[in-house]
Amino acid sequence: HMTPKLDGGPALCQIEVAIEATETAEQLEHRLAALGAPVVIDAIEILAKWDQTSTIGTLQDKQLVTQAPRLHKQLGNIPWNKPAAAIINLHRGLRPWPGCFTQWQRENGKPLRLIITEMTLAEDSSAHVDIKPGTVVANPNNGNRETLCVATGEGCISISRIQPAGKRVLDIAEFLRGYQLKPGSQLG
């Protein structure tokens, strides 16, 4: 059964799926593929039994239709002025592509693009409320160098894995041994 509009025809089957609190787009895609396969078989069986004269499926409610933007690389540029939770959700939604990144203006004057591969909400996220968004703050837990905390518009995020442009992904401790990114440094 064809309709003139792309994705505008009746829905033959549907399932409701909750997105998990820490699930990335890649993880959700794999889960939906596994959940969707049996639903596609159900839809094929419905079409096979259809007499081609009666109505089929459920019409889509135009009020519930949403449009997702086309993904492009610049979407991954971290907006440090946003709340930490929003940045974490952006990171989850853009994994694996285009991923999240930021710029670091190094002391030698050369900017370095940093691709953030793992981040979480910092445990004591409210402790740095008066700090400019994008500022590297002291690491939690008495100088623990296993994460790098960065102030956001509301709270802080904790970065545990990072990839300098053109290099391999590094644990933050390994990154900090090779790069002089210190508390007070500005990202963005």
> Which tens digit of pLDDT belongs to each residue from 103-122?
999 888 889 999 999 999 98
Mean pLDDT of the chain: 89
Whole-number Å distance between alpha carbons of 132 and 147: 19
Q: State the number of CA atoms in the 13 A half-sphere of 59 facing the CB.
A: 4
49-73 residue pLDDT tens:
999 888 888 888 888 888 888 999 9
Asked whether 92 and 69 are in contact (CB, 8 A), the reply is: no
Superfamily of domain 73-178: Formyl transferase, C-terminal domain (3.10.25.10)
Residue 142: pLDDT band (50, 70, 90) is: very low
**Are the C-beta atoms of residues 162 and 115 closer than 8 Å to each other?**
yes
Q: Which of 80-94, 145-159, 170-184 tops mean pLDDT?
A: 80-94
pTM for the structure as a whole: 0.83
The gap between the terminal CA atoms of the chain, to the nearest Å, is 50
Q: Could you state, in order of their start, the residue ranges of all structural domains in the chain?
A: 1-67, 73-178
Say which residue the tokens 């596609």 belong to. 40
